[in-house]
Amino acid sequence: MRFRAPRSLSPPSPQRKHRHSSTFGLNSSSESDDESDADSDSGDSVPESDSDSDSFCYASETIPSNPKQPSSRPSHVEDTIAAIRLRTRHHDPYEEWEREMKKESLRAARKNYSDAQANFHRYQSQRQLEESRRLAAAFKQDETQILKALDGWRLDQQAHENHLREMLNERNERLWGRIEASIKLEQDKVQARLDEERRIKEETERKRREQEERKRQEEERKREEEQRRKWEEDEAKRKQEEEQRKLREEKEAAAREAKERDEKLKSEAENRKAAGMTTSEDDWEEARKNLHITKTQGTRFVKANPSFKRIWNEGRRSITAKIGQLTNDDTDYQPSVSILLPQTGAVPPPIYTALLSTLAKALVLQAETEITAEKRSAIPLAQTTFNCLEQLEGFSEVLFAKMNQRIGPWVIPCPIPEKDFDGRAWKDDTEARKMQGYRLGEDGAVVETQNEYTDRVKGVMRLYFSVLKIVPRKAPLKKMFQLPRYWTWMARMLGSRTLLATPVGAEILFIALEVLGADALQIWGYQFVKMLHLIYDGATDGLGDGKLLGGSSPDGIAARARVKLEVESIMSGVR
């Protein structure tokens, strides 16, 4: 510890001047010696700056020199120095404790400071780590957003580039289109000129070739006409010879069959007359005679009389309309007869006969068209026909004659005789074919095909067999529409190989078996079985003399197969 003497107050001065040392009225040399001794004893040192800083004086102040100061120091100074020396050498425990406490406090403070600094550094490191993570996450998010923005900008840029590229391509296409159109226009002009030149050249060449071709064709045509004329003459001659041969063979076969039949009929004439049976020729002549009477005393007579013709036309229109309205309901049949035709005596006999002919023709025409298209339509038509036969007087003869007129003698059946019922021979083959039921034109030629003719015959014959199948509710019908007529028809058909050898004959035989075959088996039993056996043998092995059932045509072969199947079906009982 350093003690200093108090400084004397100096008067105020605007300027202050430092002094290098303060002696408090002592010599600097003696003071320095004493202080040096004290410092050496106590071990303390005082920096020079302390004495220098406390020593100052004013510039106006002058330190007076004391010439009278003795060379030896005064006693109070010595005491002071001695006290100072004593003080410096004194050992104070409190001060020692205070110094130790300061050291401990400083050491504790330093330790606390170092711990606080370590905690601070750890906290700062943690905060820096968290901040770095937050900054990294924010940077990552910003980076993602930036990448998204860049991707969006890139897509927009690509779309813009694509749009510009498409516009450029469209522009190029339009440009090249105009260029190509211009080129094509020029090419078309050149091509048109070349085509025109080529066309003119080809036209000239074509005319030359056509002229040569016409000349060649004319020569070829003349040569072909000459060859065709010769071939037609030869073919016509051959056909005529073939037809004459066939006609001669048919006539010879028919003559042989007629001779055999006549001989057989002569031998059976008495028995047939006793039984009241007729031959096929008798039935055909009777049908032709009834048809002639119906025309002369009915239709032709009515047409010649205007008053009768008016009544007949009204009835004819009514009959045509009613026949076309038939159904499968049995209740419609009975009242239809009363409105189809008036009873006998209600109109004059010629009109009644003409109306019977009209009704018969309407029924036959309906059979030719409707039954040909759908065979089930034969049921209502057959019932209506049966009712008319049962209730209308004279209708049986007229209907049978009309059937014989429309389809030929198949309803009897028999070959066409050489003469009419009155003994008149046929004018030519055209009239004979008309008697067979073929439709002829004004020039006498057949106006329908063989299939059309066969279909018409099949429709009418299905109607005929369907009428035979119906059981009478009152009195029996005329003999040509009774059920035993079926046996007669089958016997006559099987007895004529000429009819069986035609496709039409085989088709009609199949219809007869289909409609009434099963019923005939129940009625005639074993006798009909023998007839079926005969039919099956004819369909399988032939009719003899090289003839086949139905002939050798495709239609005949198909009809023969159907006949065989129908016979097998009847014998097996499976329908």
- What is the identity of the amino acid at 115? D
Per residue, the 3-state secondary structure of 111-163, as one string, reads HHHHHHHHHHHHHHHHHHHHHHHHHHHHHHHHHHHHHHHHHHHHHHHHHHHHH
Distance CA(166)–CA(163), nearest Å, equals 5
- Which residue type occupies 473? R
- pTM over 0.85? The answer is no
CA proximity to 287, closest of 143, 410, 402, 133: 402
Residues with Cβ within 8 Å of 356's Cβ and at least 6 positions away in sequence, in order, are 294, 298, 341, 392, 394, 395, 398
State phi, psi for 247 to the nearest 5 degrees. -65, -40
Count CA atoms closer than 13 A to 192's CA, side-chain side.
6
pLDDT digits (tens), the chain, 575 positions:
444 444 444 444 444 444 444 444 344 444 444 443 434 443 443 333 333 333 344 444 444 444 444 445 678 888 888 888 877 777 778 888 888 898 898 898 889 999 988 999 989 899 889 888 888 888 899 889 999 889 989 899 999 999 999 999 999 999 998 998 889 889 888 988 888 998 899 888 988 888 888 888 888 888 888 888 888 888 878 877 776 676 677 667 766 776 776 676 666 666 666 666 788 888 899 999 999 999 988 888 888 888 888 888 888 888 888 887 765 554 444 445 666 666 555 778 888 889 999 999 999 999 998 888 888 888 889 998 998 898 888 899 999 999 999 998 899 998 888 888 888 888 887 888 888 888 887 777 778 888 999 999 999 999 999 999 999 888 889 989 999 999 999 999 998 888 898 899 999 999 999 999 999 999 999 999 999 999 999 999 888 777 889 888 899 999 999 999 999 999 988 76
At 440 the pLDDT is: 83
DSSP class per residue in 177-189? HHHHHHHHHHHHH
**Which pLDDT score is estimated for 66?**
47
Q: How far apart are CA 50 and CA 47, in angstroms?
A: 6
Say if CB 462 and CB 507 are below 8 A apart: no
Q: How many whole angstroms separate alpha carbon 332 and alpha carbon 335? A: 6
User: How far is it, in rounded angstroms, from Cα 488 to Cα 55?
Assistant: 185
Tell me what pLDDT residue 70 has. 44
Residue type, 462: R
pLDDT for 446 equals 77
What are the C-alpha distances in Å from 139 to residues 134, 261, 428, 560?
A: 8, 128, 122, 103
Q: What is the pLDDT of residue 234?
A: 86
